[in-house]
Amino acid sequence: MNASIAQCRYLLSLAEPILAGLDDSHCALEPQPGTKTAGWLVGHLAVSGDFARRLCGRPTLCPGAWRHLFNPGSQPSVEPNTYPSMATLCDIFRRVYADVCLAAQEADPSALSALNPFAPARAAFPTAGDFVAYLLSSHLAYHLGQLVAWRAAAGLGRPNRPDALAA
């Protein structure tokens, strides 16, 4: 779990430039056919990170209504009024991820050794701890990468990486 927590912290250091400049006009924007919208990506990361927190014994931070909007299997909307404001989505994302690493560190080992309650991912991640590690690392990286691609397709440009070497 320690490696996944370290990866999560590193990925979060990259997240702020990726989120920078997003506003309500971007929530339901589909810059290329079939791409996920920025609102869906940020909301999905928030509910997924919140699910990881819940597996670690924390109470939920995301509104319950967000599950049908952002859970796996949900489809991004191109209707502007579907999503909360981008400021709200980003705020909840930040609140969730400000706590998720600590939640994973402090989790009761018996909770992490329990059967993964998300059956579709159980073959790859049989325990709750396996799934939390995935959500902290690969899942977060995958969707942040999608958000970087979304920014480029939407004409917002590539964010500056705070870890990039100076030229």
Looking at residue 97, what is its pLDDT?
Answer: 97
The domains found in the chain, sorted by start residue, are 2-153 (1.20.120.450)
Looking at residue 165, what is its pLDDT?
Answer: 52
The pTM of this model reads 0.95
Across the range 23-34, mean pLDDT stands at 94
Query: With 50 as the cut, is the pLDDT of residue 167 above it?
Result: no
Tens-place pLDDT, residues 59-91: 999 999 999 999 999 999 999 899 999 999 999
Q: What DSSP string runs through the chain? A: -HHHHHHHHHHHHHHHHHHTT--GGGTT--SSTTPPPHHHHHHHHHHHHHHHHHHTTPPP-S-TTHHHHHSTT------TTSSPPHHHHHHHHHHHHHHHHHHHHHS-HHHHTSBPS-GGGTTT--BHHHHHHHIIIIIHHHHHHHHHHHHHHTT--PPPPTTPPP-
